[in-house]
């Protein structure tokens, strides 16, 4: 019996700026070696199984790209020749539909996305013409979207193994204004010491993203187990059996019997309706308690809990209303004297209105918006006494 040798790939996982360390830890925990960490992306090494497992299990990545290659290009001719030198025939079959879905350029001489996309497409066609000895491609088969980053004239080319962004878990069918992305919410939770057996409250839960992501973590539910990926159709790269086995691995890990104390509050009935429906679609509705409650009613009978939240700022609320809102949050948090508060906001006067300086502050880009992750760190709960073993 011959054993098929697994192919090694260099995989690129883009993420939110400022959260590279969180994604790096996730990838290491999955068992893969990191080859490079840059602003907004982490590169790692893996086989075809890694393509499946990274898409299904990573909570904080934007997508997974299979790196085709990289080269220097200061002119469009160099871009054309560099693209044509890449082994496209190893990835794209004769009838494959292929295009450059996105081109991003930072501090590069080549900065027009549409020109970059057009020239690279022509170069890919020329390469495949020679490889397949044909002059025309129907492109009526499976889709192979390509993404390219240009940084200081270094071109990095990747095949998009994900398709629709990984933040779309498939559960958020109902939304509210300016919701937080699922992968960003997951990363912010992972920046705290919260674990599934600890209390978590989101007093501005909106469409329920923080409580749902927390409940999925508590239940060991893989974020991508209920959705499709572009590379599921690429049997020459990752066959159906590998996808089947990886999804089976994910299903076996789920534990919905876990006991949780996860709560989401909001004053908007529509937001709560969206939260409950999204939690149901995610399969974690029994692990979360949603309730209509304003921030002025924020309280909890137990100690050592966590508030993790995305309060209104920017387009969700009038600037004049923010001081009183953050002031009330500060008042209610002060009464929870053993609790921790973690909050993302672009509002500049958070600490002034809360009447308390954050213990830590982390700059994070939420899309193009610069925000800060304010961290008010409470005391650790006392260690539980160990039960003596009986001989």
72 forms bridges with which residues in the sheet? 154
Q: Which residue carries 């066609």 as its tokens? A: 125
Does the model's pTM come out above 0.85?
Answer: yes
pLDDT of residue 336: 97
36 forms bridges with which residues in the sheet? 43
Exposed (0-12), middle (13-18) or buried (19+): which is 377, by Cβ within 10 Å?
middle
Rounded to the nearest 10°, the torsion over CA 160, 228, 184, 8 is -40
Burial 225-254 (b: 16+ CB within 10 A, else e): bbbebbbbbbeebbeeebbeebbebbeeeb
Q: How far apart are CA 10 and CA 200, in angstroms?
A: 37
For 93-96, the CB contacts below 8 A with 24+ separation are 93/141, 93/142, 93/236, 94/128, 94/132, 94/134, 94/137, 94/141, 95/137, 95/138, 95/139, 95/140, 95/141, 96/137, 96/139, 96/141, 96/142, 96/143, 96/144
CA 237 to chain centre: 23
pLDDT of residue 300: 95
Q: Which residue carries 């898409």 as its tokens? A: 55
Residue 389: count other Cβ atoms within 10 Å of its Cβ.
5
pLDDT of residue 63: 98
pLDDT of residue 1: 41
pLDDT of residue 319: 73
H or E element that contains 343: strand 340-345
Q: What is the mean pLDDT of each run of 10 residues along the chain (391 residues)?
A: 68 96 98 97 98 98 98 98 98 97 96 97 98 96 98 97 96 83 97 97 96 98 97 95 98 98 96 96 98 96 97 70 95 97 95 97 89 96 68 40
Q: How far apart are CA 27 and CA 38, in angstroms?
A: 15
Q: How far apart are CA 79 and CA 349, in angstroms?
A: 46
Question: In what side-by-side order are the strands of the sheet with 143-151?
Answer: 33-38, 41-46, 9-14, 65-72, 154-160, 143-151, 97-106
- Are 237 and 66 a contacting pair, CB within 8 Å? yes
pLDDT of residue 317: 57
């Amino acid at each position: 019996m011959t054993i098929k040798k697994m192919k090694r790939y260099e995989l690129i996982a883009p993420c939110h700026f400022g959260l590279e360390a969180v994604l790096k830890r996730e990838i290491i925990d999955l068992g893969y070696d990191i080859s490079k960490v840059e602003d907004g992306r982490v590169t790692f090494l893996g086989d075809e199984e890694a393509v499946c497992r990274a898409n299904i299990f990573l909570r904080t990545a934007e997508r997974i790209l299979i790196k085709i290659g990289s080269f220097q290009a200061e002119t469009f001719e160099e871009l054309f020749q560099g693209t044509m030198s890449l082994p496209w025939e190893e990835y794209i079959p004769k009838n494959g539909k292929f295009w450059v879905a996105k081109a991003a350029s930072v501090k590069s001489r080549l900065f027009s996305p549409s020109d970059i996309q057009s020239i690279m497409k022509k170069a890919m066609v020329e390469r495949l013409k020679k490889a397949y000895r044909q002059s025309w491609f129907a492109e009526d088969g499976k889709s192979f979207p390509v993404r390219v980053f240009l940084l200081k004239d270094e071109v990095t080319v990747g095949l998009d193994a994900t398709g629709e962004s990984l933040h779309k878990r498939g559960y958020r069918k109902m939304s509210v204004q300016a919701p937080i992305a699922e992968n960003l919410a997951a990363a912010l939770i992972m920046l705290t010491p919260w674990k599934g057996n600890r209390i978590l409250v989101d007093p501005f839960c909106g469409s329920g993203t923080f409580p749902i992501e927390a409940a999925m973590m508590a239940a060991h539910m893989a974020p991508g187990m209920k959705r499709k990926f572009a590379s599921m159709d690429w049997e020459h790269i990752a066959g159906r059996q590998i996808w089947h086995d990886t999804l089976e691995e994910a299903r076996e890990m789920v534990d919905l019997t876990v006991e949780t104390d996860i709560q989401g509050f909001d004053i908007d009935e529509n937001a709560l309706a969206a939260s409950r429906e999204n939690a149901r679609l995610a399969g974690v509705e029994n692990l979360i308690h949603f309730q209509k409650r304003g921030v002025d009613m924020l309280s909890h009978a137990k100690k050592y809990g966590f508030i993790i939240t995305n309060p209104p700022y920017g387009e969700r609320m009038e600037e004049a209303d923010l001081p009183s809102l953050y002031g009330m949050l500060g008042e209610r948090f002060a009464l929870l004297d053993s609790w921790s508060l973690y909050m993302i906001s672009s509002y500049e006067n958070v600490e002034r209105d809360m009447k308390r300086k954050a213990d830590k502050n982390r700059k994070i880009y939420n899309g193009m918006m610069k925000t800060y992750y304010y961290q008010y760190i409470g005391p650790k709960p006392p260690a539980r006494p160990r039960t003596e073993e009986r001989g």
